[in-house]
């Protein structure tokens, strides 16, 4: 059924339309929105494709999605034109993509503190021609006089503790030959030795040694000791002929005994023997070796007082001194010869 409405104001009539009909511009707006969405999708696809080839275009695509619709349409048309026109895409090598770029920053210079160095005086060595020694150096061929030891008579105990008339000393060593050639007179020598050590003063020091073969026997107490009553008594009892502790035997060899006696650093050594070299062809060689030993070991200029017992040295001649006499003379000591009458008790 059709109804007709008449306007009283204008007096004009209009035809009627269904109630659910859409407004005249609704359809056109829907198409416009659809076209815009389609263009937006197309632009997104193009941007994604371009971004896949060049990561640097990702920022452009993100900016494009945020532009207004009018700019999107123009951009889409431009993109379409670029797609229709073939072009060359530059490909970057992985080395260029992975290599970061750095900007060189200059570090500020730090002022180092200045340390003043002390002035050092450098002395230049003088040339060899201008060098003059302070002390005159000895010449190889020069001959020097022998150095004589200090006079033994200056010792305050020079006349105390001697043996068979020899001088004594503040520090004295008795070095007695105990070889087999003295077996019959050896007890008398021991008795005279006892009398000598009993004359020593407490301020003096002494030691008693016997040598036979290569063996050295020292009477206790060992080493240099003060001549106290106890020490003298102890030594006197130990060397007593009746004790049987020292028996003359073997051949004389004073090398080791002389070394030990000099090691005690005495002022004097009283050396008693009936011969240190023996006879025969080797006597001179033995004598030379013994004299060399004393010269090397006697670093303190110890005085040797020597006693030749019973028979003269076979090496002694009118033009050559015996071995014991030569040892005493070279050291500044006293030498005596003892015959049978000198050894027997009065």
Q: How many CB atoms lie within 10 A of CB 203?
A: 11
Model confidence over 4-47: pLDDT tens digits?
444 444 443 444 444 444 455 556 667 777 777 788 877 777 76
Residues 188 and 312 in one domain: yes
Q: CATH number of the domain that 336 lies in?
A: 3.40.50.410
pTM of the predicted protein model:
0.57
Residue 303 · residue 331 · CB < 8 Å = yes
pLDDT at 198: 97
Q: Is residue 289 one of the residues assigned to a domain?
A: yes
Model confidence over 266-301: pLDDT tens digits?
999 999 999 998 777 788 999 999 999 999 999 999
Domain that holds residue 60: 28-83
Residues 319 and 184 in one domain: yes
Residue 6 DSSP symbol: B
Q: Is residue 21 one of the residues assigned to a domain?
A: no
Model confidence over 128-140: pLDDT tens digits?
444 343 433 333 3
Residues 318 and 203 in one domain: yes
pLDDT at 287: 92
Share of the chain above pLDDT 70, in %: 61
Residue 341 · residue 185 · CB < 8 Å = no
Q: Which of 232, 226, 149, 224 is nearest to 197 (CA)?
A: 232
Residue with token string 């209009």:
14
Asked whether residue 58 carries a pLDDT value surpassing 50, the answer given is no
Residues 161 and 72 in one domain: no
Asked whether residue 146 carries a pLDDT value surpassing 50, the answer given is no
pLDDT at 38: 80
Beta pairing class for 205-212 and 215-218: antiparallel
Residues 178 and 306 in one domain: yes
Model confidence over 320-332: pLDDT tens digits?
999 999 999 999 9
User: Radius of gyration over alpha carbons of the chain, in Å?
Assistant: 66
> Total structural domains in the chain?
2
Instruction: State the pLDDT confidence band at 143, using cuts at 50, 70 and 90.
Output: very low
Q: Is residue 269 one of the residues assigned to a domain?
A: yes
Residues 204 and 335 in one domain: yes
Decide: helix, strand or coil at residue 209: strand
Residues 67 and 201 in one domain: no
Q: Is residue 107 one of the residues assigned to a domain?
A: no
Residues 288 and 181 in one domain: yes
Could you please report the per-residue DSSP string of 32-62? HHHHHHHHHHHHHHHHHHHHHH-GGGHHHHH
Beta pairing class for 171-177 and 205-212: parallel
């Amino acid at each position: 059924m059709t109804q007709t409405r008449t306007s009283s104001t204008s007096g004009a009539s209009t035809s009627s339309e269904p109630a659910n009909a859409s407004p005249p511009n609704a359809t056109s707006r829907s198409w416009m929105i659809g076209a815009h969405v389609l263009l937006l999708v197309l632009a997104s696809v193009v941007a994604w494709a371009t971004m896949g080839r060049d990561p640097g275009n990702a920022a452009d695509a993100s900016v494009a999605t945020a532009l207004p619709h009018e700019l999107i349409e123009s951009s889409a048309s431009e993109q379409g034109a670029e797609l229709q026109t073939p072009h060359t895409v530059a490909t970057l090598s992985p080395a260029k993509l992975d290599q970061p770029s750095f900007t060189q920053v200059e570090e500020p210079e730090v002022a180092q503190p200045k340390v003043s160095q002390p002035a050092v005086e450098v002395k230049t060595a003088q040339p060899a021609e201008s060098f003059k020694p302070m002390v005159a150096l000895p010449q190889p061929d020069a001959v020097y006089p022998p150095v004589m030891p200090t006079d033994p008579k200056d010792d305050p105990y020079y006349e105390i503790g001697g043996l068979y008339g020899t001088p004594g000393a503040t520090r004295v060593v008795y070095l007695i030959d105990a070889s087999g050639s003295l077996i019959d007179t050896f007890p008398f020598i021991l008795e005279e030795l006892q009398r000598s050590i009993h004359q020593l003063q407490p301020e003096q020091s002494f030691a008693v040694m016997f040598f036979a073969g290569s063996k050295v026997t020292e009477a206790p107490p060992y080493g240099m000791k003060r001549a106290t009553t106890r020490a003298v008594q102890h030594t006197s009892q130990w060397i007593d002929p009746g004790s049987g502790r020292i028996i003359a035997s073997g051949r004389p060899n004073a090398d080791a005994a002389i070394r030990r006696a000099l090691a005690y650093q005495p002022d004097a050594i009283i050396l008693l023997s009936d011969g240190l070299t023996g006879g025969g062809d080797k006597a001179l060689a033995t004598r030379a070796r013994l004299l060399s030993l004393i010269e090397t070991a006697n670093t303190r200029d110890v005085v040797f007082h020597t006693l030749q017992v019973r028979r003269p040295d076979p090496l002694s001649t009118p033009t050559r001194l015996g071995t014991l006499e030569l040892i005493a003379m070279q050291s500044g000591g006293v030498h005596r010869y003892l015959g049978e009458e000198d050894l027997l008790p009065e």
